[in-house]
């Protein structure tokens, strides 16, 4: 690569980074540690411009079998761009203190293939930035397995309580609305 081409690549990179940051909705600005990995989930890089379902999960909750339905939802719509992000939390005292046990519940017991973070605080002043943004657009989780449907522009189009199953027609309608929300 010539010096001129190298400078051109550098300049494009310098100008592209702020443009990409400007395109990233506030809701997705931040990172979370990925479950069973040293990697971090760059929310903007992974989810910007995509329809997304964010769920606060727990390994030992009566609603934990919803992992199966969430995985089915993800498989059904992923070809249309849908992403699912599971965020384990012990806010309601039903998550393991052992990250490996959390990973085992998700990946081994329920066959989850969608993105999972390490356990996070999802309520109150110490909530992770993502959940503060979700709360600002909707409301804070009042129990495990609250489901937030987010459109391609980073706006919450619907929030569903734990009692709403992943195959509920209202949730499916919201997911389809999020998928149709843009390019």
How many other C-beta atoms are found inside a 10 Å radius of the C-beta of residue 68?
A: 16
Whether 36 contacts 99, CB under 8 Å: yes
3-state DSSP helix/strand/coil % of the chain, to nearest 5 = 40, 15, 40
Q: What whole-number distance in Å separates Cα of residue 96 and Cα of residue 93?
A: 9
**Rounded distance between C-alpha atoms, residue 142 and residue 17, angstroms:** 37
Of 57, 58, 35, 32, the residue nearest 46 (C-alpha): 32
Contact 115, 37 (CB under 8 A): no
Beta carbons of 174 and 149 less than 8 angstroms apart: yes
Instruction: Map tokens 């039903």 to a residue.
Output: 94
Whether residue 61 lies in the annotated active site: yes
- Identified catalytic residue from 24, 44, 61, 106: 61
Active-site positions? 61
């Amino acid at each position: 690569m010539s010096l001129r081409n190298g400078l051109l690549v550098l300049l494009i990179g310098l100008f592209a980074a702020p443009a990409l940051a400007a395109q990233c909705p506030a809701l997705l600005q931040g990172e979370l540690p990925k479950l069973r990995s040293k990697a971090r989930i760059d929310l903007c890089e992974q989810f910007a411009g995509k329809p997304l379902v964010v769920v606060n999960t727990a390994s030992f909750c009566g609603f934990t079998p919803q992992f199966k339905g969430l995985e089915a939802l993800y498989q059904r719509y992923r070809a249309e761009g849908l992403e699912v992000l599971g965020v384990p939390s012990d806010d309601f005292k039903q998550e393991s203190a052992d990250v490996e046990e959390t990973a085992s519940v998700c990946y081994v017991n329920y066959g989850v293939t969608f993105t999972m973070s390490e356990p996070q605080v999802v309520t109150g002043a110490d909530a992770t930035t993502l959940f503060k943004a979700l709360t600002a657009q909707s409301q804070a989780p009042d129990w495990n397995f609250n489901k937030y449907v987010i459109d391609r522009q980073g706006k919450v189009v619907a929030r569903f309580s734990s009692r709403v199953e992943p195959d509920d027609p209202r949730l499916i309608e919201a997911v389809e609305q999020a998928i149709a929300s843009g390019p």
